[in-house]
Homo-oligomer: A and B are copies of this chain.
Amino acid sequence: MTFIVQKFGGTSVGDIKRIQAVADKIIEERKRGNAVLAVVSAMAGETNRLLKLASEMSEAPQPLHQDVLVSTGEQVTVALLCMALENKGYTAEPFLGHQAGIVTDEHHGKARIRRIDTDRIRHILKKEGIPVVAGFQGVTEAGAITTIGRGGSDTTAVALAAALNADRCDIYTDVKGVYTADPRICANARLLKTVSYEEMLELADAGAKVLHSRSVEIAAKHKVKLRVLSSFEDGAGTEIVTEDQLMEDILVSGVTLNIDEAKIAIRQVPDKPGITAQIFKPLSDAGINVDMIVQNVSKEGLTDLTFTVPKQDLKQSMLIAEAVAADTGAGKVEMASDIAKISVVGVGMRTHAGVAYKMFRTLADEGISVHMISTSEIKVSIVIDAKCAELVVRALHSAFELDQKK
């Protein structure tokens, strides 16, 4: 018997009718003779409603208290989906984080899963019941409620699939799968049938919001067979597979756009050993996620250091950068938030030269100036003015012939 973990996101469970449709999806798999475990998010809009209540009560609520509050969102969905399944004649068993044995560390609001005690879930599966598990939440060793960060329901689903040796983990969402580019920007964007874990990770980090990157990491580590597909339309979606399962190394799989980052440049930083650490330690201590970092070759012992941070952390990051600049005797600190990061991702880059060249040739043809460049083994990212972003995504999508079936 095949055992499938199905995860349904917020829009998939956005109202009573949609939750009934989710029940039908689960029952479809059961009718194929498969065992199913469902993981659900809060109904669309619910988490934001709860966070608004919290912000009305307190400027900085204690993370534990906020976790107790927002974890009710998934609990409501769990109960309603159980009712829908029972209504259709199936036995469903609700599991909150603590009941599902999802034990995390104590970092409330962004906890990490330590282990999953699967006894109770296995017991229900053995009785042919359908476990319906609240995503996004866990419990500390001491029994306090935790949440594992936004988008965490993906992580819950993949972690459960790994712990229970599921044959597959299907992530149901509001798009048909992973595309070569955002279809709202690129009309001829193509749905990818397969993509490798490594590519998916780069795509997730680079701004394709289909899958939470932590879930891809766990899936890659535990070799969980992952699939992204639509709750609303039929179709096989996109399979995330190991590289050796790809039919051939496609040069470039996709182009992504991220407009949620801002750029900070510290001028004339003295080029001494350890100075970079000195700059990034306070940012890291403040929990700010620095993404791209670019340092130019130094001139007369001075260098310019540029990096990107989430826009929401820009203000705090500037304060830290200015303090560090003063401490280290660097020059002035500049910032820009009207920027866009565009990335070209593909495992084929490893073996095919010329991706970067083709990328810059395209940009030059369009007359675009590039602020920052950063490369990984399977990705080239650039930062440009935000106003040119969509034009560039379309130009690169065409240049790499992503609209054509491979």
Point out residues on A near B: beta carbons under 8 Å: 16, 19-20, 50, 53-54, 56-58, 61-62, 64-66, 68-69, 71-72, 75-76, 78-80, 82-84, 86-87, 92, 94, 96, 98-99, 120, 143-145
Contacts of A76 in B (CB 8 A): 50, 53, 69, 72
**4 closest A-B pairs by CB:** A69-B79, A72-B72, A68-B79, A65-B82
Contacts of A143 in B (CB 8 A): 99, 120
Q: Which of B65, B82, B86 contacts A79 (CB 8 A)?
A: B65
Smallest CB–CB gap between A147 and chain B, Å? 12
Cβ B61 vs Cβ A86 within 8 A = yes
Cβ A62 vs Cβ B83 within 8 A = yes
CA distance A305 to B406 in the complex (A): 83
Cβ B69 vs Cβ A80 within 8 A = yes
Given A57-B83, A75-B75, 14 other A-B contacts at CB below 8 A? Answer: A16-B53, A19-B57, A54-B80, A54-B83, A58-B83, A58-B86, A62-B83, A62-B86, A65-B79, A69-B75, A72-B72, A72-B76, A99-B143, A120-B143
Smallest CB–CB gap between A257 and chain B, Å? 36
> Which residue of B is nearest A65, CB measured?
B82
CA distance A184 to B188 in the complex (A): 69
Contacts of A84 in B (CB 8 A): 57-58
List 13 A-B residue pairs with CB atoms under 8 Å apart, sorted by A's residue number.
A19-B57, A50-B76, A57-B83, A58-B86, A61-B83, A62-B86, A65-B83, A65-B86, A65-B92, A66-B79, A66-B83, A68-B82, A98-B98
CA distance A98 to B61 in the complex (A): 23
Residue from the set A53, A56, A65, A76 with the largest chain B CB neighbour count within 10 Å: A65
Contacts of A87 in B (CB 8 A): 57-58
Cβ B16 vs Cβ A56 within 8 A = yes
CA distance A94 to B146 in the complex (A): 12
> Which residue of B is nearest A142, CB measured?
B120
CA distance A58 to B120 in the complex (A): 26
Cβ B68 vs Cβ A94 within 8 A = yes
Contacts of A79 in B (CB 8 A): 54, 65-66, 68-69
Smallest CB–CB gap between A73 and chain B, Å? 8
> Which residue of B is nearest A53, CB measured?
B80
> Which residue of B is nearest A120, CB measured?
B143
Smallest CB–CB gap between A218 and chain B, Å? 26
Cβ A64 vs Cβ B94 within 8 A = yes
Smallest CB–CB gap between A77 and chain B, Å? 10
Smallest CB–CB gap between A99 and chain B, Å? 6
Cβ B57 vs Cβ A80 within 8 A = yes
Contacts of A66 in B (CB 8 A): 79, 83
Smallest CB–CB gap between A377 and chain B, Å? 44
CA distance A86 to B62 in the complex (A): 8
CA distance A54 to B75 in the complex (A): 13
CA distance A64 to B82 in the complex (A): 10
